[in-house]
Amino acid sequence: MASGNLKIHTENILPIIKKWLYSDKEIFVRELISNACDAIFKRKTAFPNCPCEDRIDVTIDRNQKTLHFLDTGIGMTAEEVEKYIAQVAFSGAEEFLSHYKESVESQQIIGHFGLGFFSAYMVAKRVDIQTLSCQENAEAVLWSCDTSTTYTIEKAAKKEIGTAITLHLDAESDEFLEETRLREILNRYCSFLPYPIYLNGSRINETDPLWIKAPQECSDFDYLEFYRKLYPLNPDPIFWIHLNIDYPFRTKAILYFPKIAQRPDYNKNETRLFCNRVFVSDSCRDLLPEYLTVLRGAIDSPDLPLNVSRSNLQLDRTIRQLGTHISKKLADRLSQLFQNEKERFTCFWEEIESIIKLGILQDEKFYERCKDFLIWKNIEGDWLTLEQYLEKMGASSRKIYYTSDLSASPLLSSYTARKIPVLRMTSPIDTALLGLLENKLSPSVTFQRVDGSLDSALLDASREKTFLDSEGKTESAKMASFFQNQLKEKVKVEAKSLASNELPAFLLLDEGDRRMRDLMQLSGQKGFSSKPKTLVINTNSPLVSAIYNVKSTELAQDLADQLYELALLGQRELESFALDQFLNRSTRLLETLLNTTHQNQ
C-alpha cells in the first residue's frame, strides 16, 4: 500500500467548492456521471474491440450510507489515478484529446465541465475509487481519501473493466440516500446523456435529445414530441427554430415560441442550457436578451464558459453572439412563415407581437430584421404592414390615425363616416413603438390617436355658428361659455361644429402627453397624471343644444357634468374614484326624466 499527498492548490479550489457548496450540492451527481460518460467514450475510442457493455449504474446503500457510481469505462491504472485524480488541477480530458485528436470529434468529451471529481467531497466524508483499466495486464486499484489531503492507494480485487466510485456520505447529506431525490437529480442533469444510466436498476435516460439531429432529419411531429417531453402538460408551442452552429462557437439548440397565457414573465426563463448533453441550468436569463427569454427549449453549447460566475457571463463575447444568432434565426423563421404561410402567421401574430415589439425596442437590429413582417390591423380587420397601409391610404398623407382600444373610441364613427382610415394599436407596448417607427420610416410618418387633435376632416365648416348677436358674440362662443360655467375649472371647453351630429362631446388628449403617460403606466410608474385638458362640445349635437337651453340651473349643472363624465368614460379616462359620483348623478337624472314624463302624460 502506498500513500501520498493530494496536490490541491487549496487557495484555488476551495473558494470555488465553497461557492457551490450550499446552493448546488447536487451537482456532484452531474460531475461523476459526466466523468463516467467520458470514460465509456474513451474506452470505445481507444479500445474499440473491448466487449464491455456501455452502462452506468448508480446505487444507494441506505444502511452503509453510501452511494455507488459504477461505469464500464476505460478505467484507470495506478499511475493514472495518481496523475488524474490526485493532481486535482490536471484534467485527463485534455491529454486524451491530444492523443486522439484525429479520431475524435472533441465535442463528445465532457471533461472540464465544472468542479470535476472533487465535487464528491461536497457530500462525502470519504471517497473510494476502485478501478480496472482497459489496458492489457492492468491491475485493479483502490484509491481512498477522506477530507484531509492524504490518500491511500493499493491493489484491489475488481474483475470488470471500469470504475466504481463509492461516496461515504457525510452527516449533512442524507437527502441523497432518498431514491426519489436522487432520481429527480439524475432526471434533471442526465436525461439526455448518450449511455444508459440506471438508478437502483431502473433506467433514467430513454431518448436521444432531438437537438443532436440535423434539422432536415426532424419532422414537426418530432419537434412537438420533444417539446411535450420537456414541458409536459403545456399547450403545444406556436412555432420553433432549430440552430446548428459550428462557427464561431458550437451550439445546437431547439427553441420554441410557447403559447403564453397573459403577460409573459420575463423573470421565469425556462430555456434549458446543456453542455454536451449534460444539463447545466434551466435559466438562460443571463445569456439572452430579455425578449428572447420567453423562448423555451434547449441550448447545447460545449463552448460556453460555464465555470465562470454568472455576472461574468454577460460580458462574454461568445454569449452575446449567441443572442444575436438566436434573434436572427427567430426573425428568419418568422419572415419565412410570413411569406409562405400568411394565414397561419396572422393567426398567431397577436400572441407573439408584444414579444417581437419588445425585441424591437431593445435591439435596433432586430427591428431591421422584423420590419417587413411587422403587421397591423386596420379597423376593417385587414392585416397590413405600414408600407402597405400607407400605400392603401394614398401617397398624399403620411399621418396615421390610430385607436388604441377599439371600444374606447367614440370618435371612431366620425372617422369611418368620413372614410378616413384608422389603424388599431391593440398591444400595450405599441405606444412605446410609435416614436421609433416615426423615426425609422422614410419619408417619415406621424402617428396620432383619433382623439389627439381636432382635424379639419372631422369638422363641418358650413354649419359653424358664426353669426354675431347684439353683444357681438357667436352662438358657438356662448355655448362654450355656458358649459364652461357649469364645469368651472374641471376642464377647458371648446365648442366646435363637428361633421357628425351623433357625438355630443369628446376629450382632446394631446398626443405627446398621452403617450408619455401611457409609457409611464406601462413601466409601472405612477404619479404622472395628465388630466385631459380640453372638452370639445359639438354645436351640431341635438343633446348639446338641448342642455344649452335648459332653464333650471341645477339640472343644467348635472347635465353638463354628466356630458363631461360620459366623455371621460367613453375614452377610458374616468378615474375609478369618480365612478360613485357618476352613478349617483345618473340615478338622479333618470328620476328627473321619469318625473317629467309622468307630468307630461
Query: Which of 27/374 has CB closer to ligand ADP?
Result: 27
Query: Which of 35/486 has CB closer to Mg ion?
Result: 35
Nearest Cα residue to 513 out of 565, 466, 578, 452: 452
Nearest Cα residue to 182 out of 291, 416, 26, 38: 26
| Alpha-carbon separation of residue 499 from 54, 130, 197 (angstroms) | 83, 93, 77
Query: Which of 38/451 has CB closer to ligand ADP?
Result: 38
Q: Figure out which of the listed residues 35, 119, 130, 540 binds Mg ion, where binding follows CB under 5 A.
A: 35
Contact 571, 410 (CB under 8 A): yes
Segment lying near Mg ion (by CB under 5 A), choices 17-25, 96-104, 109-117, 534-542: 109-117
All cell numbers assigned to 559 = 347635465
Binding track, positions 459-488, relative to Mg ion; x by CB under 5 A:
------------------------------
Three-class secondary structure assignment of 293-352: HHCEEEEECCCCCCCCCHHHHCCCHHHHHHHHHHHHHHHHHHHHHHHHCHHHHHHHHHHH
Q: Tell me whether the omega of the peptide bond preceding residue 51 falls within 30 degrees of 0, making it cis.
A: no
Q: Figure out which of the listed residues 73, 75, 92, 116 binds Mg ion, where binding follows CB under 5 A.
A: 116
Segment lying near Mg ion (by CB under 5 A), choices 41-49, 108-116, 392-400, 450-458: 108-116
Q: In what order do the strands lie in the sheet with 375-378?
A: 383-385, 375-378, 422-424, 399-403, 446-449
Give the whole-angstrom CA distance, residue 332 versus residue 313: 26
- Provide, rounded to whole angstroms, the least separation between the CB of residue 293 and Mg ion: 29
Q: In what order do the strands lie in the sheet with 251-257?
A: 239-245, 251-257, 296-300, 271-275, 278-281
Query: Which of 71/363 has CB closer to ligand ADP?
Result: 71
Q: Is residue 73 a contact point for Mg ion (CB under 5 A)?
A: no
Nearest Cα residue to 5 out of 77, 122, 85: 85
- Provide, rounded to whole angstroms, the least separation between the CB of residue 318 and ligand ADP: 19
Give the whole-angstrom CA distance, residue 278 versus residue 186: 10
The entry of Mg ion, ligand ADP, none that residue 71 binds, CB within 5 to 8 Å by partner kind? ligand ADP
- Provide, rounded to whole angstroms, the least separation between the CB of residue 111 and ligand ADP: 4
Through-space distance between the first and last CA atoms of the chain, rounded to whole angstroms: 118
Residue 54 buriedness (CB in 10 A; 0-12 / 13-18 / 19+): middle
- Provide, rounded to whole angstroms, the least separation between the CB of residue 512 and ligand ADP: 59
Question: Cell numbers 378615474 correspond to what residue?
Answer: 575
- Provide, rounded to whole angstroms, the least separation between the CB of residue 207 and ligand ADP: 24
Binding track, positions 130-169, relative to Mg ion; x by CB under 5 A:
----------------------------------------
Interface contacts to ligand ADP, rule CB under 6 A: 31, 35-36, 38-39, 71, 73-74, 76, 84-85, 91-93, 111-113, 116-117, 163
Query: Which of 163/404 has CB closer to ligand ADP?
Result: 163
- Provide, rounded to whole angstroms, the least separation between the CB of residue 153 and ligand ADP: 14
- Provide, rounded to whole angstroms, the least separation between the CB of residue 179 and Mg ion: 24
Name the residues that contact Mg ion, by CB under 5 A.
35, 116
